Amino acid sequence: MTVCSLGIYAQIGDFYVGAAGGYITNYKDLLYGLNTSYHVSDPLEISLTGLMNPDITENDNTLPGDNNISKIKMYSLNLDAHFYMVLQRSWATGPLIGGQYTYLDKKYPNSVTNEKYDLNVAGFNLGWHLRINITDNIKINGGWRYTAANHNASHHLFYLGVGYNFNVF
C-alpha cells in the first residue's frame, strides 16, 4: 500500500527571513543579500529578495585597449510569487513569477575620461523554486530565475538561501 502526503510543512501565516546568494550569468559573478517570504496559502508564497554585489569587474570587448574594463556596483530588489505544484511534508517545488528593480553604477576607471553611468532597470521574472524544510523552523531555498529587462540587463540567476521560519498566525 502506498501513502502519499499532500500536507505541507510550512503553515499558512509562516514568515521566513534568511540569507540569500546566487550566481548571475551576464556578469559571471556572485550576488548576496536577504530574503523574506510569507506563506499566503498552501500553493502560494510571496517572496521579497534584495541582492547586491558592490564589486563586479566586467570585460567589455566592444571597447579598444585597456579601456574595456568596467567596475559595476549592482543592487536588485525582487518581488516574486512562488506557486507550489508539488507539496510534500518536507519540501515543495514549482514555478515563480514576479518583477525586479535593479540599480547599476558602472565605471570605466581606465578610460581617459573616467566614464561613468547610472542605470535603473525594471524587469520581469520567470523561474523555478524549490524549498526544503530541514526542521519546523529552518528551511533552504534554491532555484533558477530568468529576468527579462531592457538595456541589455536580462540575465539568468541561480540562487540558494537558508533562513528561519516564524509562525506568525
Instruction: Decide if 79 is inside a domain.
Output: yes
142-to-67, 117, 157 alpha-carbon distances in Å: 37, 32, 11
β pairing state of 44-59 and 29-41: antiparallel
Residue 131 is predicted with a pLDDT of 93
Domain containing 151 equals: 14-167
How confident is the model at residue 3, as a pLDDT? Answer: 31
Spatial separation of the C-alpha atoms in residues 104 and 106, rounded to whole Å: 6
- Enumerate residue ranges in the chain where pLDDT < 70: 1-11, 60-68, 111-114, 169
In a domain? residue 108: yes
Q: Say what the pLDDT of residue 2 is.
A: 31
164, 17 in Cβ contact below 8 A?
A: yes
pTM for the full model? 0.83
In a domain, 2, yes or no: no
Q: Is 3 inside any structural domain?
A: no
